[in-house]
A and B are shown apart, each in its own frame.
Chain A
Amino acid sequence: MSGLALARRALERAAERGAASADAVLVQSETHEVCVRGEQTDSVQRARQRCLGLRVFVACQGGLQQACASTSDLSEASVLQLAEGAVAAARASAPDPLAGLPGANYARELPDLALCETADRGMTAGQRIEMARQAERAARGADPRIVNSEGSSLRSRFGHFHYANTDGFAGSYQSAFHALDSRPIAAENGAQQTDFWRSVARRSDELQAPEEVGRRAAQRALARLGARRISTCRAPVIFDPLCARSLLANLAAALSGDAVCRQSSFLAGKLGETIACDALHITDDGRRAGGLGSRPFDGEGLPTRQTRLVQGGRLQSFLLDSYSARKLGLQSTGNALRGPSAGPEVAPTNLWIEPGTGDLEDLVRGTERGLLVTGLFGQGFNPVSGDFSRGASGHWIEGGERSHPVEEITVAGNLGEMLCAVDAVGGDLLWLGPIAAPSLRVASLAVAGA
Chain B
Amino acid sequence: MSAAQRELPVRLFRERFGIDENALDAALGVALEKQLDYADLFFESSARETLLIEDGLVRVSERHSGQGVGVRAICGERQGYAHTDEISAPSLRLAAQEARAIAEAGGQRKLPARSQSPARPSLYPTATAPTDEPLDAKIALLNEVDRYARARDPRIRQVVARLSCEQRLLMMAASDGGWAADTRPLVRLDCQVIAEAPGGRREMAFQGMGGRFELGGLLDAQKWRPMVDEAVRVALLNLEAAPCPAGTMSVVLAPGFPGILLHEAVGHGLEGDFNRKGSSAFAGRIGERVAAPGVTVVDDGTLPGRRGSLNVDDEGTPTRRTVLIEDGVLTGYLQDRLNARLMGQRPTGNGRRESYAHLPLPRMTNTFMLAGPDAPEDIIRSVQRGLYAAFFSGGQVDITNGKFVFHCIEAYRIEDGRIGQPVRGATLIGNGPDVLRRVSRIGCDLALDAGLGTCGKEGQSVPVGVGLPTLRVDELTVGGAAL
A387 x B424 contact (CB < 8 A): yes
Task: In the complex, identify which listed stretch (B52-60, B166-174, B214-222) lies at the interface while the others stay far away.
Answer: B52-60
Name A's interface SS: strand
From A41, A88, A233, A342, give the contact of B483 (CB < 8 A): A233
Residues in chain B near residue A127, CB distance under 8 A: none
- Residues of chain A within 8 A (CB-CB) of B54 are 262
Contacts of A447 in B (CB 8 A): 246
In the complex, the chain B residue whose C-beta lies closest to that of A387 is B425
Decide yes or no: A448 and B403 within 8 Å by CB, A68-B61, A342-B62 being known contacts. no
Q: Which of A107-115, A290-298, A357-365, A404-412 contacts B (4 or more CB under 8 A)?
A: A404-412
Pick the residue among B78, B196, B405 that contacts A42 (CB under 8 A): B78
Segment among A14-22, A92-100, A206-214 that sits at the interface with chain B: A92-100
Q: In whole angstroms, how far apart are the Cα atoms of A84 and B250 in the complex?
A: 58
* Residue of A whose beta carbon sits closest to that of B82: A46
Contact A380 B401 (CB under 8 A): no
Q: Is the CB of A72 within 8 A of B66?
A: yes
**Which of B160, B406, B427, B483: most chain A Cβ within 10 A?**
B427
Given contacts A71-B65, A93-B61, A378-B396, contact A410 B80 (CB under 8 A): no
CB < 8 Å neighbour of B62 from A41, A68, A233, A414 = A68
Q: Which residue of B lies closest to A341 (CB)?
A: B64
Q: From A90, which residue of chain B is reached at the shortest CB distance? A: B61
Contact at A448–B405, with CB atoms within 8 Å? Answer: no
Q: Tell me if B136 and A92 are in contact (CB < 8 A).
A: yes
In the bound complex, how far is the Cα of B62 from the Cα of A90, in angstroms?
Answer: 10
Residues of A within 8 A of B77 (CB): 37, 40, 42
- Cα A11 to Cα B247 with chains together (Å): 59
A412 touches B477 (CB 8 A): no
- Tell me if B227 is interfacial: C-beta within 8 Å of chain A: no
Task: For the complex formed, measure the closest distance between the CB of A393 and the CB atoms of chain B, giving whole angstroms.
Answer: 8
> Which A residues are CB-close (under 8 A) to B479?
380, 389-391, 409-412, 446, 448
The chain B residue sitting closest to A266, CB to CB, is: B202
A390 and B102 contact, Cβ closer than 8 Å, known pairs A44-B80, A45-B359, A407-B403: no
- Interface positions, chain A 425-450, Cβ under 8 Å from B, are 446-450
Known interface pairs A46-B81, A384-B203, A391-B405; A263-B427 also in contact (CB < 8 Å): no
User: How close is B215's CB to chain A, nearest CB, in angstroms?
Assistant: 15
Check if B417 is an interface residue, CB within 8 A of chain A. no
- Compute how far the CA of A120 lies from the CA of B55 in the bound complex, rounded to whole angstroms: 47
A73 / chain B contacts, CB cutoff of 8 Å = 65-67, 85
Instruction: Chain B residues near A409: list those with CB within 8 A.
Output: 429, 477, 479
Q: Which B residues are in CB contact (< 8 Å) with A288?
A: none
Residue A193 is within 8 A (CB to CB) of chain B in the complex: yes
Shortest C-beta distance, B216 to chain A (Å), equals: 19
Write out the residue numbers on chain A whose beta carbons fall within 8 Å of the beta carbon of B68. 49, 72
A402, CB-defined interface residue at 8 Å: no
B427 surroundings in chain A (CB, below 8 A):
378, 380, 389-391, 410, 412, 448
| B466 CB, min distance to chain A CBs, angstroms | 17
How many A residues touch B, CB cutoff 8 Å? 79
Which residues 374-433 in B have Cβ within 8 Å of A in the complex? 393-396, 398-401, 403-407, 424-427, 429-431
Instruction: Give Cα A448 to B426, complex, Å.
Output: 11
Nearest residue, chain B, Cβ from A410? B479
Tell me the A373-410 residues at the B interface (CB within 8 Å).
Answer: 377-380, 382, 384-385, 387-391, 393, 407-410
Task: Say whether A450 contacts B477, CB under 8 Å.
Answer: yes
Give the Cβ gap from A63 to chain B, nearest Cβ, in Å: 9
Residues of B within 8 A of A66 (CB): 59, 61
For B48, the chain A residues whose CB sits under 8 A away are 341
The reply on B111 being an interface residue by CB < 8 A is no
With A70-B64, A390-B405 in contact, do A412 and B425 touch (Cβ < 8 Å)? yes
| A73 and B44 alpha carbons, distance in the complex (Å) | 13
With a CB–CB cut-off of 8 A, which chain A residues contact B27?
none
Determine which residue in A47, A94, A233 has the highest number of CB atoms from chain B within 10 A of its CB, and name it.
A47
Closest to B157 in A: A263
Which of A149, A234, A264 has the most chain B CB atoms closer than 10 A to its own CB? A264
Q: Which of B197-212 contact A (CB under 8 A)?
A: 201-204
- Are A89 and B63 interface neighbours, CB within 8 A? yes
Task: Write the chain B residue with the least CB distance to A265.
Answer: B202
Quick one: which of B65-91 are within 8 Å of A by CB?
A: 65-68, 76-86
Give the residues from 96 to 150 in chain B that come closer than 8 angstroms, CB to CB, to chain A: 98, 101-102, 135-136, 139
Of all chain A residues, the one with the shortest Cβ separation from B431 is A408
Beta-carbon contact of A69 and B62 below 8 Å: yes
Question: Which of B275-283, B327-335, B364-372, B443-451 is found at the contact surface with chain A?
Answer: B275-283
Bound complex: CA of A41 vs CA of B244, how far in Å? 47
Which A residues touch B482, using CB under 8 A? 446
A263 touches B79 (CB 8 A): no
Question: B324 near A: Cβ within 8 Å?
Answer: no
Q: List the A residue with the shortest CB-CB distance to B81.
A: A45
Q: Given known contacts A93-B58, A94-B58, A148-B279, is B407 in contact with A446 (CB within 8 Å)?
A: no
| Chain A residues within 8 Å of B400, by CB | 185, 192-194
Residue ID in chain A nearest B357 by CB atoms? A47
Query: Cβ of B481 < 8 Å from any Cβ of A?
Result: yes
Say whether, besides A68-B61, A384-B204, A51 and B401 are in contact (CB < 8 Å): no
**B357 pairs with A194, CB closer than 8 A:** no
Flag if B139 contacts A92 (CB, 8 Å). Answer: yes
B194 near A264 with CB under 8 A, answer yes
Which A residues between 297 and 347 are near B, CB-CB below 8 angstroms?
Answer: 341-343
Contact between chains at A407 and B401 (CB < 8 Å): yes
Give the shortest distance, in Å, between A145 (CB) and chain B (any CB). 13
Q: How far is the CA of A382 from the CA of B83 in the complex (A)?
A: 38
Q: How far is the CB of A350 from chain B (nearest CB, A)?
A: 22
Q: Kindly state the separation between the CA atoms of A88 and B68 in the bound complex, as whole angstroms.
A: 26
**Residues in B neighbouring A40, C-beta threshold 8 A:** 76-78
**Contact partners of A393 in chain B: CB under 8 A:** 403
B370 to chain A minimum Cβ distance, whole angstroms, is 27
Decide yes or no whether A150 CB sits under 8 A from chain B: yes
CA distance A224 to B401 in the complex (A): 10
Interface residue? B158 (CB, 8 A)? yes
B454 on the A face (CB < 8 A): no
- A160 within 8 Å of B (CB atoms): no
- Complex formed: what's the CA distance from A393 to B401 in Å? 12
How far apart are the CA atoms of A414 and B196 in the complex, in Å?
A: 18
Knowing A92-B61, A96-B59, the reply to whether A379 touches B393 (Cβ < 8 A) is yes
- Asked if A229 is an interface residue, CB under 8 A from chain B, the answer is yes
User: Min CB distance, A408 to chain B, in Å?
Assistant: 6
B244 to A93, Cβ gap below 8 A? no
Q: Are A378 and B405 in contact (CB under 8 A)?
A: yes
Is A123 close to B, CB under 8 A? no
Decide: B63 and A68 in contact? CB cutoff 8 A.
Answer: yes
B76 neighbours in A (Cβ, 8 Å) = 40
Task: Identify B403's interface contact among A185, A264, A408, CB under 8 A.
Answer: A408
CB atoms of B278 and A43 under 8 A apart: no
Question: A125: CB under 8 A from chain B?
Answer: yes
Pair A67/B398 contact, Cβ less than 8 Å: no
Which residues of chain B have C-beta atoms less than 8 A from A448's C-beta? Answer: 246-247, 427, 429, 477-480
Can you list 16 contacts pairing A with B, beta carbon distance less than 8 Å? A40-B76, A43-B359, A44-B102, A49-B357, A70-B64, A149-B279, A192-B279, A192-B400, A264-B192, A379-B396, A387-B424, A389-B427, A408-B431, A412-B479, A446-B481, A446-B483
Q: List the 5 closest A-B pairs by CB distance, nearest first.
A: A410-B479, A391-B405, A448-B246, A378-B405, A194-B400
Residues of B within 8 A of A (CB): 48, 50, 54-55, 57-68, 76-86, 98, 101-102, 135-136, 139, 157-158, 160, 192, 194, 196, 201-204, 244, 246-248, 277-279, 281, 357, 359, 393-396, 398-401, 403-407, 424-427, 429-431, 477-483
List 6 other contacts, CB 8 Å, given A193-B400, A412-B427.
Answer: A69-B63, A263-B196, A384-B204, A391-B403, A410-B479, A446-B482
